[in-house]
Amino acid sequence: MTMTTFDALPLAAPLHRVLKQLGYETPTPIQAQAIPLLLEGRDILGCAQTGTGKTAGFALPILNALELNPKTPRSRQCRALVLAPTRELAGQVGKSFTTYGKEVRFRQTLIYGGVGAHPQISAMRGGVDVLVATPGRLLDLIDQRFIDLSAVEFFVLDEVDRMLDMGFLRDVKRIVSMLPAKRQSLFFSATLAPEIVSLAQTILHNPAHVSIQPEVTTAERINQSVCFVDRQNKRNLLEQLLQEQNRAKEGKLTIVFSRTKHGANKLAKSLCIAGFPADAIHGNKSQAAREKALDRFRKGLTPVLVATDVAARGVDVKDVGLVVNFDLPNEPESYVHRIGRTGRAGADGRAVSLCAEDELEYLRDIEKVIKMPIPRWDGHEWHEEALAERHLRGKSHQKSPQANQGGQRNNQQRQGNRGPQSNNRHAHTQQRNNDRNQRRDPAPVR
């Protein structure tokens, strides 16, 4: 059963007061479907993108339970555990609990790496109601016997696909093994690939399935486009896009994605020199430096944020009007999460991807995942029509297997059209694996 208004949800009075203060009237689809089920005590297997309101979808039922059934947590224990893949997402979840629970008496702490552990250890000595944590630091403190998970009543595993992408599967399984068998479990992922469903089956008991959108889709309100351009002209095109953003005088923010940490630093510096105030965030930045950069970005003091994929999820900033993929991601699913930084909460957004010759295969992989071609935009002086044509020919060959069965002359022509970058698919796959091993970001969160 779904609810059409927050007033219809059987939540405690303090939560209704807060929702009215926040001006919340109509639940998002994920909230309307999940909250009634969670209030009934059901386990949930949810498929929903970031920006759909799922944090409130699980925070409100947990806070409702804490309000209706208050207990004093024992030392080192927690009643609710929310496991998040990154420090940024953990901080965002923690802020949501603080916002929605401001009229509920509960204690909360955040556990993540990149900062000193002593304040976290001190907070856990008295026990907390809600613990939001990343896997690495949580296991560190468990191993040192500063945290005990034997009393967890509510367990939330958030952004599961990202958790697996970052190599946390073993850590997640170890944490789950320490939880009591009797608990309510919530499992949220933007995609439901087979390995994710398999993991869910080991964690959830007779779960209700809540799916808001198809696997790995892109937001309808985001105007997507791709520009075919030589790599040496990418920065010129980026500056043109930023100038257009400034001329609109709407006060919108921009996130630019770079594949590497060094590239993010270099690009932010060059943009500042060109007159576009910018900061960079990535896994090598300290937590304090990242939070400072995000705070300046939110306030519009530095309206351009250059980021690696550490910012693709968990960074919920209003008024991001433009996302630029300066480097196309070598993992196609990351494209969805990158562009999801704009067009949030019903707003319109724009996402522009700059595709150089060595990124044509990445673009094809992205279009396979999102199941649609990205419209090209050539309204700039650096457009490379030859690259655009090669991309079209590449897609045509993928759709028509018989094209690979022609004579020697056709085969030679096809190789000439696709170019040396695409002829050796094995070499491309090996290069992608090297990218993942050598450049992958974010950094470990221990």
How much of the chain, in percent, has pLDDT values that exceed 90? 53
Strands 108-111 and 128-133, by their bridges, are parallel
Alpha carbons 353 and 195: distance in angstroms, whole number: 29
Q: Which of 310, 198, 189, 320 is nearest to 261 (CA)?
A: 310
Lowest mean pLDDT among 40-44, 84-88, 361-365, 412-416: 412-416
CA atoms within 13 A on the CB side of 37: 22
pLDDT reading at 414 higher than 60 = no
pLDDT of residue 294: 87
Note the pLDDT tens digit of each residue in 113-128: 888 899 999 999 999 9
Assign 379 to helix, strand or coil: coil
For 93, the token pair is 């979840």
Cα–Cα distance, 191 to 213 (Å, whole number): 9
What does the alpha-carbon distance between residue 387 and residue 356 come to, in Å, rounded to a whole number? 8
3-state secondary structure 33-88: HHHHHHHCCCCEEEECCCCCCHHHHHHHHHHHHHHHCCCCCCCCCEEEEEECCCHH
pTM above 0.75, yes or no: no
β-pairing, 44-47 vs 278-281, is unpaired
The average pLDDT across 402-430 equals 39
DSSP run (H or E) holding 363: helix 360-370
pLDDT grade, residue 423 (50/70/90)?
very low
What tokens were used for 143? Answer: 């191993």
| Tokens describing residue 328 | 């196309």
Q: Classify residue 6 by its DSSP letter.
A: G
The pLDDT of residue 186 is 94
Give the per-residue pLDDT at 53.
81
**Distance of alpha carbon 11 from its chain centroid, rounded?**
29
| pLDDT for residue 406 | 39
- From CA 34, how far away is CA 395, in angstroms rounded? 39
Q: Is the pLDDT of residue 411 over 70?
A: no
**Distance between CA atoms of 341 and 349, rounded to whole angstroms?**
9
pLDDT of residue 194: 80
Walk me through the domains of the chain, giving residue ranges and CATH numbers: 6-211 (3.40.50.300), 222-397+426-439 (3.40.50.300)
What's the token pair of residue 151?
């009393």
What's the CA gap between 162 and 175, in Å, rounded? 17
The model's confidence at residue 397, banded by pLDDT at 50, 70 and 90, is: low
For 23, the token pair is 């001006």
Distance CA 404, CA 413 (A): 11
Tell me the pLDDT tens digit for each residue of 178-226.
999 999 999 988 777 788 888 899 999 999 988 775 444 455 678 999 9
Q: Residue 97 phi/psi, 5° resolution? A: -60, -40
- Answer whether 70's CB lies under 8 Å from 94's CB: no
- For residues 30 and 210, is the Cβ–Cβ distance under 8 A? yes
The three-class DSSP label of residue 355 is strand
Residue given tokens 């203060």 in the structure block: 21
Residue pair 283/310 in contact (Cβ under 8 Å)? The answer is yes
The answer to whether 86 and 134 have CB atoms below 8 angstroms apart is yes
Q: Could you give the maximum distance between any two Cα atoms of the chain, in Å?
A: 78
> How far is residue 34's CA from residue 2's CA, in Å, rounded to a whole number?
8
User: Residue 395 in contact with residue 366, Cβ under 8 Å?
Assistant: no
| Distance separating alpha carbons of residues 157 and 201, to the nearest angstrom | 13
pLDDT (tens digit per residue) in 28-54: 888 989 999 999 999 999 887 666 788
C-alpha distances (whole Å) from 200 to each of 123, 185, 190, 195, 314 are 30, 10, 13, 9, 21
Q: Residue 251: left if φ>0, alpha if ψ -120 to 50, beta else—which one?
A: left
> Residue 264: is its pLDDT beyond 50?
yes
Determine the distance from the C-alpha atom of residue 45 to the mean position of all C-alpha atoms in its chain, rounded to a whole number: 18
Task: Name the residue type at position 32.
Answer: A
For 78-88, write each residue's pLDDT tens digit.
999 999 988 88
Mean pLDDT, rounded, of the chain: 83
Q: What is the pLDDT of residues 266-278, one digit of tens each?
A: 999 999 999 999 9
By the 8 A CB rule, do 425 and 149 touch?
no
